[in-house]
Amino acid sequence: MPISVQCTCGKTFRVKDELAGLPVTCQVCGAQILATEAPVVPPIHAPTAPPNAGTISCPACAEPIPAGARRCPHCGESLASTAMSNEELAKALDLIRGELARHSPAQDDVLRGGMWSGKTIALGVLTLASLALLAFGAMSRNGEPALAFGIILGLCFGIPTLVSFFNDRNAMHLQESEGPIQAYKRFFMAVKTGRTGKAFAALIPPARQAEHPPSIAFKNPKIPNHPQRRPFSDVKSYAAYWKEIFQGKNNWVRYYQLNKVRVILPETDGVAVVEANLKLTTYNSLLMLSILLSLWIAVILILIFQQKEDVVVRKAFIRHEGRWYLLDGSIEGDLDKALARRREVGS
């Protein structure tokens, strides 16, 4: 039967009995706590209490929070490093290692799916078609248009195919990375490019049952945040969680660039901590859509009002000692016309 678990922030909630002794996520503050009947810290029911009465200031947003909180309920800043003792941390890591020892890697293979994504396969087919068109233009008489078209399509589809190919390969080998920095880069690129199944398979089993994980809290008030928290327990909900982070809300689109990744806690007993510097650019998708529509309208108007005419120009050449020379530098000179007329009369 379900057991009652009490968080350091004072919230009491119920979890399944099979989770007893395992880390679970608080539904209010998002802290990772051990599922046990005995409360870890006595509940604090004084969020508005005066200073020094069981509250501290969050180091990120300066809001008053319960003294034992593992995560700020206002900005989502993790305080686990100060709230979790060394003994609690060691016990949690031992529980995770035990869970991983009982975990079957075959489940991960199912979650990751095939080596190549549908996007890579589709781009590869289009690239092969453009190469076939290029070969046809190269071997055909007067095939210059097909050759040029094949080159253009080859560049348009070939480069994205290579990028998608390497993204698939890196995401597939996320867990076999040489170090935590490479693992993080591959994880970030996997969730950014929609390869969430491969990223979800890289989570430890308890992390795959997150109930209300926090999103990113932006300090810039002009960048819209997501106040709600989306739970995920499968690949589909996990993909929706990351899509919400990368796309934003209310017609806003975010672009994340991974600038720098460094190790702040070197690997000890198989555990390492990395810190990533993300550069965020956000813009309104409706504005981008209006610009694209304007460009399309301009192209259509150009095609509608353009004027065409076929012009015939005849030029005469003379060969001397194996080299060809033009008889006149103008568009059509007197010698060109005279020789052309002579050819017509002779015919």
More confident residue, 288 or 36: 288
* Torsions phi, psi for 32 (to 5 deg): -90, 120
The pLDDT of residue 7 is 75
Give the residue carrying structure tokens 């997150």: 210
pLDDT digits (tens, 9 = 90+) for 166-204: 999 998 989 888 889 999 999 999 999 989 899 998 898
Q: What is the per-residue pLDDT for 38?
A: 46
Determine, yes or no, domain membership for 299: no
Residue 288 has what pLDDT?
A: 79
Q: Please give the helix or strand (H or E) that residue 244 lies within, else none.
A: helix 235-247
pLDDT digits (tens, 9 = 90+) for 257-312: 888 888 888 888 888 989 998 888 888 778 878 898 999 999 999 989 988 888 88
Report the amino acid identity of residue 41: V
Q: Are residues 45 and 170 in the same domain?
A: no
Q: In this structure, what token pair is assigned to residue 330?
A: 């103008």
**Domain extent at residue 265:** 106-289
Higher pLDDT, 46 or 141: 141
Report how far residue 208's alpha carbon sits from residue 201's, in angstroms, rounded to the nearest whole number.
9
Q: What is the largest CA-CA distance in the chain?
A: 113
The total domain count for the chain is 3
Is residue 303 domain-resident? no
Q: Are residues 121 and 251 in the same domain?
A: yes
Residue 46 has pLDDT above 50, yes or no: no
300: in domain: no
Residue 147 lies in a domain: yes
Same domain for 232 and 336: no
Q: Are residues 99 and 126 in the same domain?
A: no
Average pLDDT, the chain: 80
What value does the mean pLDDT take over residues 232-244?
86
Q: Which of 77, 104, 131 is the last residue of a domain?
A: 104
* 125, pLDDT greater than 90: yes
Same domain for 163 and 276, yes or no, is yes
On the CB side of 333, CA atoms within 13 Å amount to 9
Cα separation, 11 vs 28, whole angstroms: 7
Q: Which of 40, 69, 104 is the last residue of a domain?
A: 104
Report the distance separating Cα 168 and Cα 112, nearest Å. 11
Q: Looking up tokens 């035990």, which residue turns up?
A: 98
pLDDT (tens digit, 9 = 90+) per residue, 84-101?
A: 677 888 888 888 888 888
In a domain, 307, yes or no: no
Assess whether 69 and 183 both reside in one domain.
no
Using the predicted structure, report yes or no on whether residue 40 has a pLDDT greater than 70: no
Residue 247 pLDDT? 77
Instruction: Decide if 77 is inside a domain.
Output: yes
Residues 150, 217: one domain? yes
User: Does one domain contain both 152 and 245?
Assistant: yes
Whether residue 89 sits in one domain with residue 40: yes
113 has pLDDT over 60: yes
Are 88 and 124 within one domain? no
Residue 49 reports pLDDT greater than 50: no
Paired tokens of 318 = 């003379």
Same domain, 98 and 124: no
pLDDT of residue 79: 64
> Is the pLDDT score of 102 beyond 90?
no
**Cα gap 226→242, rounded to integer Å:** 12
pLDDT at 18 over 80: no
- Both 26 and 137 in a single domain? no
**Is the pLDDT at 228 greater than 80, yes or no?**
no
- Looking at residue 39, its pLDDT comes to 45
pTM value? 0.59
